[in-house]
Amino acid sequence: MSMKILTVDDSRTMRDMLRMALSGAGFDVVQAVDGMDGLDVLEREAPDLVITDINMPKMDGFGFIEGARKKDKFRVTPILVLTTESDPEKKMRAKTAGATGWIIKPFDPVKLVDVIRRVAA
Amino acid sequence: MDAMQAIRETFFQECEEQLGELETGLLSMQEGAADSETVNAVFRAVHSIKGGAGAFKLDKLVKFAHVFETTLDKIRNGAMEPSPPVMKSMLRAADVLADLVTISRDGGAFDDARSNELIGELNAHCEDKAPAAAAPAPEPKTEEEAEENPFAALGWEPVTISLEPDINEYVINFKPKPELYAKGNEATRLMRELSRLGSLTVQCEIADVPLLANLEPEQSYLAWHATLRTEQDIDSVRAIFEFVDDDCQLDVEKVEPDISAPPLEPVAEVEEAQEAQEAAPVETAVLAVEEQRAVAEAAPLAAASKAEAKPDAAASAAQNTIRVDLDRVDRLINLVGELVINQAMLTQRVLEAGAVKNANIATGLDDLEHLTREIQESVMAIRAQPVRPLFQRMSRTVREIADATGKNVRLKTEGEGAEVDRTVIERLADPLTHMIRNAVDHGLERPDARIAAGKAPQGEVKLSAAHKSGRVVIEISDDGRGIDRARVKATAINKGLIPADAVLSDSEIDNLLFLPGFSTAEKITNISGRGVGMDVVKRSIQALGGRISITSRPGLGSTFSMSLPLTLAVLDGMVVRVADQTLVVPLNSILETMKPKTSEVYGLGPDSQVIGIRGGFTPLIDVGYQLGFRYERCDPMQGVALLIETEGGYRSALMVDAIQDQRQVVIKSLESNYGHVDGIAAATILGDGRIALILDTDAIVNASSGRNSPSDMLLAG
């Protein structure tokens, strides 16, 4: 069975790009539109890996990661954050919240898959 | 590439939405609502546009969005006040951003001067408000970002590689901290990734693993020693550990080929350094986490399920829209139109077949009728969109004209949520822009004149939308000087639009504005005078099946009010008979109906007639004769006259034989199903299955004025 990846992003463009890159690489993709929705889909779909944006309405990426880490089932699920800038402060905050790693936008589909391999079984 | 193209389209659609939110947010910030929610939404909008633009390599857009975002970030974290000058720059920046998006999408020349000016302006605000040290020039940062592009780095690779053998040997000592596992990273995966780079030998150091009784499940006891032979440089090796840098002890060393260092040496060092620490076999570590899970299961589960209830509701609210291709909706609307016609035909046939009124079949038909009505209304609602984006565009127009004219203007909008057919909204943009321009340019006074008149220096233009009896009413009002009626009348007389001795009521004078060739501005400014007058506005509104009217009070302002149909797929029409043909006349063009009396009808020359209505004369047009249904003019006394108003405010009376009905009809295009017919706008199918043509009243009047002399046309009134 192929790996199931949840992407959480409020931008339709980004969701479409992620879906294209990930399905193209043979992953199952499920999507959510913000942190709140993300937690919901997470629970329902139990993905093997999560990719989340930081800036989102309702609940941002930090809140989502903290929320996910509080759920026992997802304590060690790899969570990658998508970030536009290579802002070290933002990365640190994401890591403190429990993020496994990060992907810098705009991403290259090949590199994206490399990063996923690095953190996923 | 098709998929990419589709995503690109999505991106631009999304940009439109984000720009709308940006505008809304900035406007409410300007009103003083700089709460974090609003500022965040504004920031997110710019951030999203930047993110997507980066993916499509729209560098200019990225660069501008970046500077914009940096400024917004300063406001967001309180380093900068959203003062009026800052907000003004922000709004202008939003306009530039919108332009950049449009140009990126449609092509065209970038106005670099303008965007650079705004970049300078935003940067200046940032430097003003932020401590000098904490204000990095944002521009170079964008360039840095560009340089981060891995391909740029790869480009240099072949140059640096020498003729030496490419194989490097690295010794890697790696000891994870518990945090590494807590963040979902896994030592074994990292080792696996290392092995992808070349040939790898790994040793797991298990000396620190305590006895099972002493084992802390969440502790980390293992260390790893690896030797990697690879073509890659040391940075690629370190890159594997990019995510875990702070959560482990990591030591990567290149073994120089000429110094044959024994691989054990560094291991020994590491062992010394880690003497105080513990280790555990990997299986135990994983097991430990598993155990911990089981223990923790009971308590947090209840809390977790409680927390889940809320997101559920929020999520459902976020996901209640889908995007559908417009063609599909139009096809559906068309089909439902057919269904409505079919249902009406069925009802008629059943009655013809002699079914009793209260028979079961009649009841069934009644239900069917209700159902089809409901389906029709629901389908029409799909095409409906709120007027909000349209109104938002107007706020930009107001800003630009206020800047150009030196007037201080505030746009107030109301009822942005009112929904109208998409096509109506699209075709309303130009007339609305023109009217807004007029309101600011002609309607409002300059600040000094306003103060002299005892008004606030800031003028107000109000744009409102509301649903009223199945139509939408859009009003544009200003609190300016009102229409200068004496001047309007003088201008009209000068231009020969009315006779010098015409006696006109106030509202008739106001309506002169809609006459073709009328312009009140003493000299045509490049703001209002863009080659279109109010006559064009009126014609566009009428083409949409709408009406427009003016009210004005001297010194207090003017209001332009438009009443528009909610949809273009159906039309309120009057069903009339003309020479045994059934025709439909759009209700919006009919002012009144009357039965002409002998004393009112006058012949004018051999070929035309006029009718006297309240002291004025209006040309009488026999529709049947005009359309060629009959070759003799009918007797006006035997028919009904429909007084209609055409473009330019001229009135005519259309003679028909009888009025049959007044009803909503489904519009069927004649052009796409048959061909263009002069004097006919479209067609519809009536309940009895017969086709009825919908009259194009303007075309009928124009065609007949070719036969009548134009001087017969009397002015509105």
Q: What pLDDT was estimated at residue A85? A: 64
Pick from A15, A50, A51, A72 the residue to mutate for testing the B interface (most B CBs within 10 Å): A72
Indicate if the pLDDT at residue B599 is higher than 80: yes
Q: Which residues of A touch B299 (CB under 8 A)?
A: none
What is the distance in angstroms between the Cα of B225 and the nearest Cα belonging to chain A? 18
> Does residue B642 sit in helix, strand or coil?
strand
A32 part of a folded domain: yes
Q: Categorize the per-residue pLDDT at B649 as very low, low, confident or very high, splitting at 50, 70 and 90.
A: low
Q: Which CATH superfamily is domain B570-712 in?
A: CheA-289, Domain 4 (2.40.50.180)
A34 part of a folded domain: yes
Q: Which of residues 87-146 of B touch A (CB under 8 A)?
A: 145
Q: What pLDDT was estimated at residue B301? A: 43
Measured at the alpha carbon of residue B373, what is the angle toward residues B368 and B377, in degrees to the nearest 5?
Answer: 145
Burial per residue of B354-365, b for 16 or more beta-carbon CB atoms within 10 angstroms, e otherwise = eeeeeeeeeeeb
CB contact under 8 A, B184 and A98: yes
H/E element, A13: helix A12-24
Half-sphere exposure of B622 (CA within 13 A, CB side): 21
- How is chain B split into domains, by residue range? 2-153, 161-287, 326-382, 387-565, 570-712
Q: Give the closest of A55, A59, A99 to B183, CB-based.
A: A99
Q: Categorize the per-residue pLDDT at B526 as very low, low, confident or very high, splitting at 50, 70 and 90.
A: very low
Specify the CATH number for B161-287; select among 3.40.50.300, 2.30.40.10, 3.30.70.1110, 3.40.50.920: 3.30.70.1110
Indicate if the pLDDT at residue B627 is higher than 60: yes
Indicate if the pLDDT at residue B363 is higher than 70: yes
Any A CB within 8 A of B414 CB: no
Q: Which residue of B has its CA nearest to A82?
A: B51
Rounded CA separation B437/B398 (Å): 7
What is the distance in angstroms between the Cα of A29 and the nearest Cα belonging to chain B? 16
**CATH number for the domain harbouring residue A36:** 3.40.50.2300
What is the distance in angstroms between the Cα of A73 and the nearest Cα belonging to chain B? 8
For B398-430, write each residue's pLDDT tens digit: 888 888 888 888 889 898 888 888 888 888 888
Bigger pLDDT: A84 or A10? A10
CATH match of B2-153 with 1.20.120.160: yes
Q: Categorize the per-residue pLDDT at B691 as very low, low, confident or very high, splitting at 50, 70 and 90.
A: confident
A112 part of a folded domain: yes
Beta bridge partners of B563: B473, B547
CB contact under 8 A, B6 and A102: no
CB contact under 8 A, A40 and B240: no
Q: What pLDDT was estimated at residue B43? A: 86
Any A CB within 8 A of B243 CB: yes
Q: Is B16 exposed, middle or buried (0-12, 13-18, 19+ CB in 10 A)?
A: middle
Which strands sit side by side in the sheet containing B198-205, from one edge to the other? Answer: B198-205, B223-230, B168-176, B248-255
What is the distance in angstroms between the Cα of B317 and the nearest Cα belonging to chain A? 10
A36 part of a folded domain: yes
Q: What pLDDT was estimated at residue B648? A: 55
For B210-219, write each residue's pLDDT tens digit: 888 778 877 8
Q: Categorize the per-residue pLDDT at B474 as very low, low, confident or very high, splitting at 50, 70 and 90.
A: very high
- Whose CA is closest to B569, among B395, B335, B412? B335
Query: Mean pLDDT, chain B, as a whole number?
Result: 76
Indicate if the pLDDT at residue B521 is higher than 70: no
Measured at the alpha carbon of residue B60, what is the angle toward residues B59 and B63, in degrees to the nearest 5?
Answer: 85
Q: How many CB pairs under 8 A join A and B?
A: 141
For B387-402, write each residue's pLDDT tens digit: 888 888 888 888 888 8
Overall average pLDDT of the B495-504 stretch: 81
Rounded CA separation B657/B633 (Å): 11
Q: Which of residues 581-620 of B touch A (CB under 8 A)?
A: none
Q: How far is CA A71 from CA A29, A59, A66, A101, B177, in A?
A: 21, 16, 9, 19, 22
Any A CB within 8 A of B181 CB: yes
Q: How many domains does chain A have?
A: 1
For B123-148, write each residue's pLDDT tens digit: 887 776 544 444 444 444 444 444 44
What is the distance in angstroms between the Cα of A106 and the nearest Cα belonging to chain B? 5
CB–CB of A61/A81 below 8 Å?
yes
Q: What pLDDT was estimated at residue A86? A: 64
Structure tokens given for B359? 């028979």
Give the CATH fold of the B387-565 domain: Heat Shock Protein 90 (3.30.565)
Q: What pLDDT was estimated at residue B288? A: 42
Length of chain A: 121
A121 part of a folded domain: no
Overall average pLDDT of the B208-231 stretch: 81
Q: What pLDDT was estimated at residue B590? A: 87
Length of chain B: 717
Lowest mean pLDDT among B39-43, B343-347, B640-644: B343-347
CB contact under 8 A, B184 and A43: no
Q: Categorize the per-residue pLDDT at B357 as very low, low, confident or very high, splitting at 50, 70 and 90.
A: low
Q: What pLDDT was estimated at residue B165? A: 53
CB–CB of B650/B631 below 8 Å?
no
> For residue A55, what are the domain limits?
4-116
Q: Kindly state the greatest CA–CA separation across chain A.
A: 37
Q: Which one-letter DSSP state was computed for residue B246?
A: G
Q: Which residue of B has its CA nearest to A115?
A: B240
